[in-house]
Amino acid sequence: MNYIKFIIGILGISLFMGLSSCKKTFDALLNNPNYPSPSTADVDLYLNEVQVSFKDFWNTASDYGAQLTRQQQWYGPFYRNGYTPATFDFMWTTAYASVIKNAQAMVPLAQSQKKYIQSGIARILEAYTYGTLVDDFGDVPFGEANLGAASTNPKVDPGATTYAGVQTLLDSAIADLQKTGAATGPANDLYYSGSAANWITLAKTLKLKYYMQVRLVDQTAAASIQALLSENNLINNPSQDFVFKYGTNITAPDSRHPHYGLDYANSGGVGEYIGNYMMWAVAAEKWGGNVNLTGDPRLRYYFYRQATNYAWANQQSCPCYSSSYFQTPNYPSWYPSVPDKTPFCVVGKGYTGRDHGDNSGTPPDVNFRTAWGIYPAGGQFDANQGAAVTLTMGGQGAGISPIWLSSFTSFVKAEAALVLGSTGQGTPRSLLLSGISASISKVLAFPSTVNYTVPSNYIPSNSAIASYDSLVASNYDTASSNDSRLNIIMTEYYIAAWGNGLETYNNYRLTGMPNNMQLAKAVPEPGFFMRSFYYPSVFENRNSNAPVQKTPGDAVQKVFWDNNPDNFIN
C-alpha cells in the first residue's frame, strides 16, 4: 500500500511540474467559447444589435409621445395616473442595456480595427438615445452610465449636461465618418446601406434638432442653429430620410410594422384606437369640422376605414354616438367647444377612433375602428372598401418608422426663420410649403415602394395637391400674429409627423402647438399635462442613487429645456 502511495505521489509531482511548465500554453485555452470576450466580438454583429435595439427603443418612445399628443389613444383619465413607473421599464432597459451598452463596447473595438463608419453609426444612435432619455425623463445617468463594477449605482446628470454630451457624441461621430483609410463599412447598415455621407448628414440634422429644442433656455443656441442652416448639410431630400424599414414576415420573426401587427389580425378586428383628434386634424379641421375626403391628399393613405358610415353604431357598439354631432348633439356640459374646435366620439364618414382620456369600457367595435393605413404602417389604402381588416391586406406590414424626414427639416427651418430670424434658407412661408410638399410627395410615393398599387382614380391630382397648398398658404397669409403663423407651421408639422410621436410630444411642450388639442374627455379636470415621464421602476428599485420618484402630483415636472408655465398645455 505504501508503495502505491509513493508511486501516486511521484506521478502527482510530475503532473504538477508538467502543468506548471505548460502553464502559458494552457492559459491560452482557458477562454470559454460560450462567453467570448469583447476583444473577440464581431463589430458588425455588435452594430446589428445596436441598430435593432435602437428601433425598439424609438418605437416605444414614439408611442408614448403619440398617446399624449392625441395621435394614438391615451386612456387616462388623469395625467397623474395615466402611466405607472413600470410602464417605462422596457424603454429604459432597452436604452441602457442594449443600445448604449453595446455601442460603448463596440466603439473601442471598431476604432482598433479602423472600422470608423461603424463607430460613427454607433455614436449617433447612442447620442439619439441619450437625447430622447432626457426629453422623456429629464435628468438621467450619463457620465457614470454603463461603467460596470466601477459604478453599479450611477448618479443622474443634469439634462443640460447630457445634452452637451449628446452634441459631443455627434461631433465625434462626424469625425469618425470623415476619417480616411477606414476599413470596410458595415455588412448590414439597416438605415443608410453604409453611406458615410448620409450618416454625417443625419448627425448634423440631429445637432440642429437638439439646438432648436434648447432655444428657450440657451441664448447661445441661435448662433449654432444659424451655422448649421448656413452649411445646410441637412436631411433636405427624401432620399436621405432616416427611417427603419419593416418586412412582411409574420412569424419567426415577425418583421412587420408594429401597428400593422396590432391592427390587421387573422380573425379580423382592429386591436387599437387612433386618436380622434389626429383624424379630425387631417380630415376635417380645415373644412369647418366636416370630413372632406378630397381635402388633405394624405388622408386615404394615413387611415383605413372598416366602415364608411355609422349604420353599425348603437348603444352597445358605440355608446357615445347618440350624443355626437352626427345624431343628436348632447355633449357633456363640461365638454368644451364641440364640434367647432375638437371632435367628439366619432369624426364623420366612418372615421372611428377614441377621444383623448376616454377610459370608459371597450365596446364591441373592433370591426368598425379605423386602422392605420398604407403609410407608414404598410396597411391598407382606403378606396371606400368599407371591409373588415384581414391578416395580409395592403402592404402586408412593410411599413417604416419615420424617425426623421426631409419634411421635418423644412418645418424646423420655418420655425427657426420665424421665431429666431434665421436666414439663408427661405422665408417661413416658403419653408412651410416646402415641408408640406415633401410630406405629400413622401406619402403618395410610398405604396409603390412596398409593391402596392393605388387605384388610379384615388390618386390625388396635381390640382388637388395645389388646392391644399393654397389653403394653407392663405391661412398663413391672413394670420394676424407670429404666434398664429407658428401655430400653422407646427400644425402642419404635426400632420406630417404621423407615425412619429416623439417629435410631436417635444414640439407640443416647446411651443404649445397645435393650440387646439382635444381636451381629455372623461373628466373635466384631468390635472396638469405630463411634461415628463415617471422614472422607470427598474431604475428606482435597483439604483440606490436614483432620484426621488416623481409623485403623481408632480406629473407636471418639466425637462430642462421646457421653461413654459405649468398650465401651458392640456
Model pLDDT for residues 437-493, shown as the tens digit of each residue:
999 999 999 999 999 999 999 999 999 999 999 999 999 999 999 999 999 999 999
CA distances to 249, 288, 344, 356, 473 from 353, in Å:
27, 19, 10, 10, 29
Q: What are the E-state strand segments in 179-280?
A: 242-245
What whole-number distance in Å separates Cα of residue 381 and Cα of residue 400?
Answer: 15
Lowest mean pLDDT among 213-227, 482-496, 541-555: 541-555
Q: What is the mean pLDDT of residues 338-344?
A: 71
- Please give the share of the chain, as a percent, with pLDDT higher than 90: 81
Which of the two residues, 275 and 526, has the higher pLDDT score?
275
Q: Which class for 471: exposed (0-12), middle (13-18), buried (19 or more C-beta within 10 A)? A: middle
On the CB side of 555, how many CA atoms lie within 13 Å of its CA? 20
- Please give the share of the chain, as a percent, with pLDDT higher than 70: 91
Q: What is the mean pLDDT of residues 47-75?
A: 97
Residue 3 has pLDDT above 70, yes or no: no
CA distances to 42, 51, 355, 502 from 46, in Å:
6, 9, 42, 26
Q: Which of 103, 92, 113 is nearest to 49 (CA)?
A: 103
Residue 25 has pLDDT above 60, yes or no: no
pLDDT digits (tens, 9 = 90+) for 298-335: 999 999 999 999 999 999 999 999 988 888 888 777 67
C-alpha grid cell for residue 355?
377621444
Q: What is the mean pLDDT of residues 489-517?
A: 97
Is the preceding omega at residue 343 within 30 degrees of 0, hence cis? Answer: no
Task: Sort strands 242-245 and 400-404 into parallel, antiparallel or unpaired.
Answer: antiparallel
Task: Report the mean per-residue pLDDT for the chain.
Answer: 91
Residue 510 has pLDDT above 50, yes or no: yes
Strand partners for 400 = 245
Q: How confident is the model at residue 521 (pLDDT cuts 50, 70, 90)?
A: confident
Lowest mean pLDDT among 22-26, 100-104, 418-422, 507-511: 22-26
Lowest mean pLDDT among 207-211, 235-239, 545-549: 545-549
Q: How confident is the model at residue 337 (pLDDT cuts 50, 70, 90)?
A: low
Q: How confident is the model at residue 151 (pLDDT cuts 50, 70, 90)?
A: confident
Q: What is the mean pLDDT of residues 338-359?
A: 87
What are the structural domains, with CATH classification, of the chain?
Answer: 39-234 (1.25.40.390), 258-499 (no CATH)
Contact criterion met (CB below 8 Å) for 417 and 428? yes
What's the confidence (pLDDT) of residue 41? 79
Q: Which of 110, 105, 100, 103 is nearest to 145 (CA)?
A: 100
pTM of the model: 0.92
Q: What is the mean pLDDT of residues 80-98?
A: 96
Write down the residue that cell numbers 404666434 correspond to.
Answer: 483
Contact criterion met (CB below 8 Å) for 275 and 353? yes
What whole-number distance in Å separates Cα of residue 461 and Cα of residue 480?
Answer: 31
Q: What is the mean pLDDT of residues 516-527?
A: 85
CA distances to 86, 257, 338, 513 from 242, in Å:
30, 16, 38, 24
Residue 5 has pLDDT above 70, yes or no: no
Q: Which of 167, 164, 160, 39 is nearest to 110 (CA)?
A: 39
3-state DSSP assignment of residue 554: helix
Is the preceding omega at residue 77 within 30 degrees of 0, hence cis? Answer: yes
Q: Which of 196, 187, 233 is nearest to 121 (CA)?
A: 196
What's the confidence (pLDDT) of residue 553? 65
Contact criterion met (CB below 8 Å) for 345 and 320? yes
Residue 50 has pLDDT above 70, yes or no: yes
Q: What is the mean pLDDT of residues 515-534?
A: 89
3-state DSSP assignment of residue 402: strand
Write down the residue that cell numbers 381635402 correspond to.
Answer: 295
What's the confidence (pLDDT) of residue 103? 97
In the chain, the largest separation of any two C-alpha atoms, in whole Å, equals 111
What whole-number distance in Å separates Cα of residue 472 and Cα of residue 460?
Answer: 17
CA distances to 256, 268, 347, 399, 490 from 391, in Å:
11, 7, 26, 15, 35
C-alpha grid cell for residue 99?
443600445
Q: Which of 159, 166, 241 is nearest to 207 (CA)?
A: 166
3-state DSSP assignment of residue 537: helix
Q: How confident is the model at residue 4 (pLDDT cuts 50, 70, 90)?
A: very low
What whole-number distance in Å separates Cα of residue 343 and Cα of residue 291?
Answer: 11
Q: ∠ CA(146), CA(148), CA(150), 5° rounding?
A: 110
Side chain identity at 304, as an amino acid letter? Y
Q: Which of 504, 56, 497 is nearest to 258 (CA)?
A: 56
What's the confidence (pLDDT) of residue 2? 45
Residue 552 has pLDDT above 90, yes or no: no
3-state DSSP assignment of residue 269: coil
What's the confidence (pLDDT) of residue 7? 40
Q: How confident is the model at residue 9 (pLDDT cuts 50, 70, 90)?
A: very low
Lowest mean pLDDT among 104-113, 375-384, 546-555: 546-555
pLDDT digits (tens, 9 = 90+) for 221-260: 999 999 999 999 999 999 999 999 999 999 889 999 999 9
Q: What is the mean pLDDT of residues 87-109?
A: 97
Residue 184 has pLDDT above 60, yes or no: yes
